[in-house]
Structure 1
């Protein structure tokens, strides 16, 4: 009976809870992975971490426990939570149990060693053992929650848009076709024996979504303010530092929009508010990843964002062509290098490029009434990354939209939105990984997502 009472008094807590509550002189039980050990004359100091915080907890162990304190091993320790003379929390260990041993042979990491992001990326299943990667994941988690809470408070309703879709929203042909990997099933399901396999299951081609925007527009025509936060897929043969084949998109759509200014105001307010809250809540992990020039990197938070027309932006780029490596051509649009030059070197704050030539943008963007060759659209550019979001007012004129659409019947429903109780909608899509990449000053987008997929790479 007495033993059972003692056992009940020993509480199990995450390291995050321990550092927050600081219940000194209490018996506790902790679990985590061994990060480092330091052998002293009389004791062994062992740092463990369970991933709930970037701060390690020091265990004070006797030397008889040395064999259990192997780098990378998962352990459970019981003991008294104490405080060092310098105020650091530590556990004076009475008992240690090895949960999972970690043999050094073939394990990719050793203690007190820094590894390149490329090396860490080679072992995706072990990335969560790297402290800096864990800081990124906690930042990603925090940023996701902040965005969802912000939009909830702003009256936006979350929509789970489909991953499987019958349309290519952007019309660029960069889609992955989906079909069952079962030839017998496809043969049985074909309505016409001459139909291609891609049409056997759904009776038409199906794709992994490149954007949930069109589905959001359908929802906005009855719910007014909607958003989705879903994966998107692009079949691009690109290995750049800002491209992935699978990534997450935050997409907003709002009805009763009057002009592009409304959409720009929405994203500006969100971008500043979310960034401020993120830095307030995640600054410790941000500093663990990169503590250099934080104030300088975010001095734009109290400044106005610049707005340039496409023609103004092109003129600036043309005048500074000697500073750029990429070719400057009006019809080719703005390259990644040119985007970064505009926002980082010229404007020195995030900026919007508006009023694009209609040939360079998607069919659903509304043409300007005073110049039908331009559309009411923007690219939102930020330093280091370039384009992080794109948005527009959607074409609300039935006849104009019909003339811009192909004869493909798969989007007849989209055209009908302009026929029955139509309203003007507008919105944007923001690349979540690019946003996080910028906030954390991480060079490659492949290092801000747990399991990156890009051309010729789809591990696990």
Structure 2
């Protein structure tokens, strides 16, 4: 059915999945609205790469027929423009005046991957919180969001979730994992402790300080912790983006990933570097001073300690319904070499 996307909504499975997606979407807005967050429509078109990953879709004007033999392209703006990979930097600008903001919008990654966990176009939940100097504040917000939307969806879409679970032959153990996630506190551990656990309990692991955790490592760590979601915090500076706040040890940054059963990384977040001199130095070292001068000005002309996170909505749904492939939790999936309509 992935070859005939326009016909998929006529199937019972896709119809049920879209109803579940709708319920969870409304639960996300309900959670943030009840906590006093303001919804922001962050731009789809952007002149910067938020995380420095370099995997961007470039936007150009097409002159002539799309399927013609000849076509010319040109810049529409006075700078190169891209489809956004994240609304975070724009949320930071808004948080400087509104304090608590969030967005729930599409994001795009030009990563040439056809795995069961990647899409070229997906939805991101992102939030920014001013006046915080603690990663714990960010973790409590993330944990509260996930527990709330999970409970709301289970209660409001129980019939559809039951149908999808039956269709996917989801085991009863998966339901126990979801129930355990709602009832238990998420585990917190620093990156260094996570390395020790993996190296002591996984014969195939030989991870050194500074190595990034692969998906297999993430799943093994969650399994070791009893299939309860795990926050891994305080990563080496080189593993996190330039905006992550440097810790007092000058070795790590106040960044975190949330790992969940069966999926691995679901969320990432940081305290943002609010010290002008340090941020200036980082931007200069990465040759980003010109393109992100406005971001630096947020610190120069008045700022406050703040932080936030991003969560892949499609990946969350994949976990919730026990879906083996992320392409089946959205109506019109896009991935490498596949954009049929």
Q: TM-score w.r.t. structure 1 length?
A: 0.69
From the superposition, tell whether residues 330 and 122 of structure 1 become closer, same or farther in structure 2 (CA, over 3 Å). farther
Q: Secondary structure at the match of 1:236?
A: coil
Give 1:322 shift: 2.1
Secondary structure of the 1:290 match is helix
Cα root mean square deviation, aligned: 1.7
SS of 1:459's partner is coil
Q: In the alignment, what sits opposite 1:34?
A: none
- Residue 219 of structure 1 corresponds to which residue in structure 2? 94
Q: Counterpart of 1:314 in 2: which secondary structure?
A: helix
Aligned counterpart for 1:208 among listed residues 83, 86, 102: 83
* Structure 1 CA distance for aligned equivalents of residues 78 and 208 of structure 2: 42
Residue number among 423, 431, 441 corresponding to 2:322 in the alignment: 441
SS of the equivalent of 2:291 reads helix
- Name the SS of the counterpart of 1:446 in structure 2: helix
Residue equivalent to 2:156 = 281
Cα distance, 1:304 vs structure 2? 1.2
The answer as to 2:254 corresponding to 1:379 is no
| 1:229 counterpart SS class | strand
Q: Does 1:358 align with 2:237?
A: yes
**Within 1, Cα distance between the matches of 2:57 and 2:51?**
13
* 2:176 pairs with 1:296: yes
CA offset digits 1:383-403 (Å, max 9, x no partner):
011101000100010000011
- Secondary structure, in 3 states, of the residue corresponding to 1:322? coil
Determine which structure has greater relative contact order: mean sequence separation of CA pairs < 8 Å that are 6+ residues apart, divided by chain length.
2
Query: What residue number does 1:333 align with?
Result: 212
Q: Does 1:368 align with 2:247?
A: yes
2:18 aligned residue:
137
| SS of residue paired to 2:59 | coil
- How far is 1:345 from its partner? 3.9
Q: After TM superposition, list the pairs within 5 Å mapping 1:96-111 onto structure 2.
A: none
Distance 1:330 1:226 in 2: 35
Deviations 1:46-76 (A, max 9, x none): xxxxxxxxxxxxxxxxxxxxxxxxxxxxxxx
Counterpart in the other structure of 2:311: 430
Alignment partner of 2:251: what SS? strand
Aligned position for 2:331 = 450
Q: Which has the larger radius of gyration?
A: 1
SS at match of 1:181: strand
Equivalent residues of 1:352, 1:380 under 8 A apart: yes
TM-score (norm 2): 0.92
Q: Which consecutive aligned stretches of 4+ in structure 1 deviate over 4 angstroms post-superposition? A: none
Q: Indicate if the aligned counterparts of 2:122 and 2:312 stay in contact, CA closer than 8 A.
A: yes
SS in structure 1 at match of 2:203: helix
Aligned to 1:231: 106
Contact preservation (8 Å) 1:306, 1:347: no
**Which residue is 1:407 aligned to?**
287
Matched, 1:164 2:45: yes
Q: Which residue of 146, 152, 155 corresponds with 1:271?
A: 146
Selected match of 1:180 from 58, 61, 64: 61
Aligned counterparts of 1:300 and 1:219: Cα–Cα separation in 2: 32
Task: From 395, 406, 418, give the equivalent of 2:299.
Answer: 418
TM superposition shift of 1:241? 1.1
- How far apart, CA to CA, are the structure 2 residues paired with 1:134 and 1:443? 18
Compute the displacement of 1:331 (Å): 3.0
Measured against aligned partners, the alpha-carbon deviations of 1:160-180 in whole angstroms (never above 9, x if no partner) come to: 000000000010101111110
CA contact (8 A) 2:63 2:73 kept: no
Distance in 2 of aligned mates of 1:388 and 1:368: 23
Give the Cα–Cα distance (whole angstroms) in 1 for the partners of residues 204 and 322 of structure 2: 23
For the 8 Å contact 1:393–1:425, the answer to whether it is kept is yes
Could you tell me whether the CA contact under 8 Å between 1:437 and 1:443 is conserved in 2? yes
**Over residues 337-393 of structure 1, what are the superposed CA-to-partner deviations in whole Å (9 max), with x where a residue is unaligned?**
111111134342001000000001100000012x11100010001001110100010
